[in-house]
A and B are shown apart, each in its own frame.
Chain A
Amino acid sequence: MDAIVAEDLHKRYKAVQALDGVSFSVREGEVFGLLGPNGAGKSTTVRVLTTLTQPDSGRAIVAGEDVVRHPNRVRRSIGYVAQDSGVDWEATGRENLLLQGRIHGMAGPSLHARVDELLALLGLSDAGDRVARGYSGGMKRRLDIALGLVHRPKVLFLDEPTTGLDPEARVAMWVEVERLAAEEGLTILLTTHYLEEADRLAERVAIVSRGRIVIEGPPDELKAGLRGESVTVELEESDHRAEEAAAVVRSVDGTSEVKVEGRHVRTRVPNGAQAIPAILSALDGRGFPAASVTTARPSLDDVYLHYTGREFAAEDEEGTK
């Protein structure tokens, strides 16, 4: 059974078409990633699925219930960890968790036991009785996740779980999410604009761009779907003729998507080992000696470029404006 089904979701905010027909489904027990640059519509999708806001049109079923028709039933089955921390600063970690549990109708010793368990699980046992105002960013984030888990939800939404964390805390958070997925048997939908995060955590990803899902599948399949490898040739340091060299590479059979980055010429080929000798001899014959050459399997970055025709990083920057 599918834990989340989104069908043709549309939502418009004044001049911005935030969702322009988003459809995807997430299987029970799966970790699913919505990957896209800032402003692509990931957070809006999550806000619709968590009943925080309503779509203009389209339908969404979460944990078996329609988000528009039965929002309270959906709310009972989901945990929501928003992009921005929802911690009550003036309350202790424990008080935050107890109130959240009580909202979900929990009470008594079983609630207190669950709160103790979560504080321990997320490494907050020592800080649990301190007011959250004094918590570090990473601690607030872990408390947020605990808040989303108090009532043992079936589906957990993690909206940009590692944005704003330093690299060390980010890796710790990845380990945490992997453990939760395994131990609590949750369906997890996470959004991220970090390609490596989606690659590492998600069993399947959907790439979101400008309010639409561009492509969906397991990261490895998406990359394999590009059928090929990238070859990067580095010209010698004194050589400033990268554009001319790129023209030469373009003339070699089997090369596609040739791009210049400084002294590097990058291209996509079906098979790196076969293409490299041809590329190198073509370059050498025209007087462009190569300093080095490398091949790489495609990354999600390449997948994004391939399906949207746009660079992920540039799009991401654009979206933050």
Chain B
Amino acid sequence: MQTARQTGWMVVRQARNLMREPIWIAMMVIQPMLWLVLYGQLFSKVAPLRSGASSYVEFLTPGIICMNAFFGGSWSGMAMITDLDRHVIDRFLAAPTSRLAIILSQVVRAGVTAILQAIILLAVGYLLGVRVHGGVLGFLVVFAAAFLLASVFAGFSHGIALLLRRESSMIATANFVSLPLMFLSSILIGAALMPGWIHQVSRYNPVNWAVQAARNGVVFGGPWGETALYLLLLLAATAATSAFATWSFRAYQRSI
């Protein structure tokens, strides 16, 4: 209960502080559109890439939603580095602050940002002819997939931030992890077109779970059983990475 209340207040802090950064807001809005338009145009003439969707943009939209979610999550640990550098974390830790609340607030921030970006992408996609074939349930699935995928990587990113505690190490790690995971998923091309081994590896990639779920929601309108399984896997992964991040406070506190 106390953890829930503290998480709420910490989310308010995050949201309020970010609202004071107009550049951040502009980037959050513009960047996903840029990805969608650039990739959509680049591959628009390659017919097999559509993989059952009515256009490549339609195939791509759920993929870009997930790409934004997990990039956003992977980089979210930078906020922890700033808070560590400014000793805000030490102040919280010497008070009866729930460690889990500090992590969850960051996870929720990343997740909500991903949902906002999903809304923007679906709106831009609509103008490009993308329709959500799964109806209301399809929308909910897309938002859940974006929220959970961002959460998985936000938890991971904050754990790493607490272990490394340096901006440059953090940037290197985020790059090292995020680009391979993107290419080992069906964000850009369908599973049927992947080399066999990449297809096999992608089945264990959380990014791919989210892409599959979101694509079921937007392009195929089902099957919902499989979709629910993907979302549950993402929820379990979020629990695991959040637990890792919360545990990382111990490592940090041993070092100070």
Contact = CB atoms under 8 A, between A and B. Distances in A.
B87 A103 contact: no
B256 A91 contact: no
Interface in A103-128: 103-105
Interface string A72-86: 100110101010111
Nearest to B83: A88
Contact of B13 (A87, A91, A105): A91
Contact of A99 (B13, B83, B94, B254): B13
Contact of B9 (A82, A84, A103): A103
Given A90-B20, A91-B13, A100 B256 contact: no
B95 A100 contact: yes
Interface string B78-91: 00000100111011
B90 A52 contact: yes
Contacts of B21: 90
A131 B20 contact: yes
Contacts of A147: 91
Contacts of A51: 93-94
Given A75-B95, A103-B95, A86 B20 contact: no
A47 interface: yes
Interface string A51-84: 1111000000000000000001001101010101
Nearest to B91: A86
B190 to A, nearest CB: 43
B87 A86 contact: yes
Contacts of B2: 105
Given A95-B16, A103-B6, A54 B253 contact: yes
Nearest to B2: A105
Contact of A86 (B6, B13, B86, B96): B86
B95 A82 contact: no
A67 B76 CA distance: 32
B219 to A, nearest CB: 40
A102 B6 contact: yes
Contact of B91 (A47, A53, A100, A105): A100
A50 interface: yes
Nearest to B20: A90
Contacts, number: 72
Nearest to B18: A90
Contact of A91 (B16, B90, B94): B16
A88 B88 contact: yes
A307 interface: no
Interface string A33-58: 00000000000000100111110000
B1 to A, nearest CB: 11
Contacts of B247: none
Interface in B1-46: 2, 5-6, 9-10, 13, 16-17, 20-21
B126 interface: no
Contact of B97 (A13, A91, A103, A131): A103
A147 B83 CA distance: 16
B92 interface: yes
A86 B93 CA distance: 11
B96 A82 contact: no
Contacts of A131: 20
A91 B17 contact: yes
A51 B93 CA distance: 8
Given A53-B256, A95-B16, A86 B88 contact: yes
Contacts of B254: 53-54
Contact of A76 (B13, B90, B96): B96
Contacts of B83: 88
A87 B85 CA distance: 11
Interface of A: 13, 47, 50-54, 72, 75-76, 78, 80, 82, 84-91, 95, 99-100, 102-105, 131, 147
Given A52-B94, A86-B87, A102-B9, 13 more contacts: A50-B94, A80-B91, A82-B87, A82-B94, A85-B86, A90-B21, A99-B9, A100-B91, A102-B6, A103-B92, A103-B95, A104-B95, A147-B91
Which are the 4 A-B pairs with shortest beta-carbon distances? A86-B91, A90-B17, A80-B94, A86-B87
23 contacts: A47-B256, A52-B90, A54-B253, A75-B95, A75-B96, A78-B94, A80-B94, A82-B87, A82-B90, A84-B87, A85-B86, A85-B87, A86-B88, A86-B90, A87-B88, A89-B86, A91-B13, A95-B13, A100-B91, A102-B5, A102-B9, A105-B96, A131-B20
